[in-house]
Amino acid sequence: MLQQRTLKSMTRAVGVGVHGGQRVELTLRPAPPDHGIVFRRVDLPQPVAIPLSAEVVSDTRMATTLSPGGDPGAPKVKTVEHLLSACAGLGLDNLTIDLTAEEVPILDGSAASFVYLLQSAGIELQDAPKRFIRVKKTVEVREGEGERLMWAKLEPFEGYKLTFEIEFHHPAVDQTGQRVTFDMGSGNYKREIARARTFGFSKDVDMMRARGLGLGGSMDNVIVVDESKVLNAEGLRYDDEFVKHKILDAIGDMAMAGRPILAAYSAFKSGHALNNRLLRALMADPANYEIVTIEDASRLPRGLSELAPAW
The phi, psi pair for 268, rounded to 5°, reads: -130, 115
- Helix, strand or coil, per DSSP, at residue 26: strand
The H or E element containing residue 87 is helix 81-89
How far apart are the C-alpha atoms of 135 and 146, rounded to whole Å? 29
Biggest distance spanned by C-alpha atoms of the chain:
54
By DSSP bridging, strand 179-183 and strand 160-165 are: antiparallel
Catalytic residues: 272
Closest of 195, 290, 268, 263 to residue 235, by C-alpha: 195
Measure the CA–CA gap between 13 and 23, rounded to whole angstroms.
Answer: 11
The residue type found at 224 is V
Distance of CA 47 to the CA centre of its chain: 24
Distance from chain centroid for Cα 229: 27
